[in-house]
Chain A
Amino acid sequence: MSQYLRALSAILTREALRFLTQRERFLAALVRPLVWLIVFAAGFRAALGLSITPPYQTYITYEVYILPGLCAMILLFNAMQSALSLVYDREMGSMRLLLTAPLPRWWLLFCKLLAGVLVSILQAYAFLGIAYLYGIRLPPMGYLWVLPALLVAGLMLGAVGLFLASTIRQLENFAGVMNFVIFPVFFLSTALYPLWRMAESSRLLRDICAWNPFSHAVELIRFALYMRLNTEALGWVALTFAVFLALALWGFDPARGIMTRKTR
């Protein structure tokens, strides 16, 4: 096995072991979308009527509509959690250990990113399992089709988190950034309402939602759950991933980035 794969395997194993020792984190990550699914969706079911829009071929309940958005929500919160732990690791020093390994920095950061995404995919599947027991049934093959969509969407959100981690100087600043990122990104997307519904109240908000990369991540997942590929969404997600990964790598570059200004 090459050194690259050994490092990847070690980082994945480490994240998996940390995940197993932090069961509270796993449960907390599930409680949030479940509250939205069981409490919020039940309350809004009557208020928010939905028309037939792709990929759906019939009228659906509101719970069915928000399910992909809640999967994306798990990925989003996990990406921010991973970014937070990166800032913490950098402040506490363990990030230094990783970055002094004799491997290209981009590979080490990518391994870290991938490890975080795989953990959040496990959580998304656990959520889909509970939703199934709750009565939200999807096409059986949809559970398989959604795997690459979750991976790509998770990588995009993870890259955004990585970029944020490279720009934030201190751990205390992270909570503020989380509020500025998570809530606008989530609410200004198609996670909770379709675009046509948003357009009824504000054209501007509709346009913002349409441009929001998180909306494309949600749509990618939504279509995949019904065994369809949304190529436009995939393109936007891939482009956003590439841009933010490049920015994050720049941020962590020892020669050009901002590490030199903040790690003292």
Chain B
Amino acid sequence: MAALDVAGLSFRYGRKEALKGVSFAVQPGEFCALLGPNGAGKSTLFALLTRLFVAKQGRISVMGKDLQQAPRAALAQMGVVFQQMTLDLDLSVARNLAYFGALHGLSRRESAARAQDVLERLDMAERAREKARDLNGGHRRRLEIARALMHRPRLLLLDEPTVGLDARARASITAHVHALARDDGIAVLWATHLVDEVAPDDTVLILHQGRLLETGRARDIAPEHGLAAHFMALTEDAVA
């Protein structure tokens, strides 16, 4: 069973068509990079996947649960890191995690144990008492990823999670999330416009002007000229 199954998804903002018949699937343990230039429709797709918007055309299911028919069951399987930071800066790292854990129905004890676990996995255990405001950009992002893992989701959605971070922080976060897919079998959908964040074995979806232009393994998509050149050419062609 696919962790995420999207079929025939379309969406309009008034007359403007933002997504046109998008279909793809992400399997457990798969790291899937959603590549697209700015304005390609990535954030709209994320808003639909997280049910901030509801599509009138198409279907989304998470671990076999239809997002429209059973939204609570589907959302419970999903961890999300939005492009904009969504931490409460006045609260400590531990309290940010506890708040999210409670929203997902975790008891205090359960929440504390899981917070310890996810913080250790992301090398942040010693920062549990610090205020989120005192963390640097890279650690804030890590905290958001830790928070998204609190309820042990089977699917992790990340919308341009490395925007505004330096190269070291970007590399560290990308490596952490790849490890989550590889070691824990979590399906990852990672939206980005930065081609260098994609590893050769990752699955790549190229989205442009609301259409899915290409799908495949990164190493197979452009064996001769490399993914970056292929991506540029493909999106330039689409504009023309």
* Residue positions of A touching B, CB distance < 8 A: 1-3, 6-7, 9-10, 13-14, 17-18, 21, 92-94, 96-104, 254-255, 259-261, 263-264
Contact with A along B44-69 (1 / 0, CB 8 A): 10010011111000000000000000
From known contacts A10-B99, A17-B95, A261-B14, infer whether A1 and B107 are also in contact, taking CB-CB under 8 Å: yes
Q: Is the CB of B52 within 8 A of A96?
A: yes
Which of A2, A97, A103, A263 is in CB contact (< 8 Å) with B47? A263
* A100/B95 contact (C-beta < 8 A), A6-B102, A6-B106 known: no
- With a CB–CB cut-off of 8 A, which chain A residues contact B91? 14, 17
Residues of A within 8 A of B54 (CB): 254-255
Q: Are B84 and A93 in contact (CB under 8 A)?
A: yes
In the complex formed, the residue of A with least CB distance to B147 is A97
Q: Could you tell me the distance in whole angstroms from the C-beta of A213 to the nearest C-beta in chain B? A: 31
A-B pair count, CB < 8 Å, reads 87
Whether, in the assembled complex, B105 has its beta carbon less than 8 Å from a beta carbon of chain A, the answer is yes
Whether A14 touches B73, Cβ cut-off 8 Å, given contacts A9-B102, A102-B104, A103-B103, is no
Would you call A93 and B52 a contact (CB within 8 A)?
no
- Among B75-83, B112-120, B135-143, the stretch that binds chain A is B75-83
Are B107 and A18 within 8 A (Cβ)?
no
Pick the contact of A21 from B82, B84, B90 — CB < 8 Å? B90
- Contact partners of B100 in chain A: CB under 8 A: 97
Chain B 91-136 residues near chain A, CB threshold 8 A: 91, 95, 98-100, 102-107
Q: Which residues of chain A have C-beta atoms less than 8 A from B88's C-beta?
A: 14, 18, 94
- CA A207 to CA B83, docked complex, whole Å: 50
Nearest CB in chain A to that of B106: its residue: A6
Question: Which chain A residue lies CB-closest to B92?
Answer: A17
Contact A264 B43 (CB under 8 A): yes
Interface size grouping (class) on chain B? 35 or more
Closest to B148 in A: A97
Question: Are B52 and A101 in touch, CB under 8 angstroms?
Answer: no
Interface SS of chain A: helix
Chain B positions within 8 Å of A97 at CB level: 80, 82, 86, 100
* Sample of 11 more A-B contacts, CB < 8 Å, known A101-B75, A101-B104: A6-B106, A6-B107, A9-B102, A17-B90, A93-B83, A96-B50, A97-B86, A100-B50, A254-B53, A263-B47, A264-B43
Q: Is the CB of B103 within 8 A of A101?
A: yes
Return B52 CB to nearest CB of chain A, in Å. 6
Check B82 against A102 for contact (C-beta < 8 Å). no
Q: Who on chain B is nearest to A91 by CB?
A: B84
Task: Contacts A14-B99, A100-B51, A100-B52 given; indicate if A3 touches B90 (C-beta within 8 A).
Answer: no
Determine the residue in chain B with the shortest Cβ distance to A94.
Answer: B86
CA distance A93 to B85 in the complex (A): 7
In the A-B complex, list the 6 residue pairs whose CB atoms are closest, starting with the nearest: A10-B102, A93-B84, A3-B105, A255-B54, A101-B103, A102-B76
Find chain A residues with CB under 8 A from B87 CB.
94
Are A96 and B86 in contact (CB-based, < 8 A)?
yes
Using CB atoms, name the residue of chain B closest to A3: B105
In-complex Cβ contact of B52 among A1, A2, A99 (8 A):
A99
Given A259-B53, A264-B43, A7 contacting B86 (CB threshold 8 A) = no
The residues of B that contact A263 with a CB separation of less than 8 Å are 47, 52-53
Q: Of the candidates A18, A21, A93, A260, which one forms a contact with B13 in the assembled complex, judged by CB atoms under 8 Å apart?
A: A260
Contacts of B72 in A (CB 8 A): 102-104
Q: CB < 8 Å: which of A7, A18, A260 contacts B90?
A: A18
Q: Across the two chains, which residue of chain A brings its CB closest to B79? A: A100
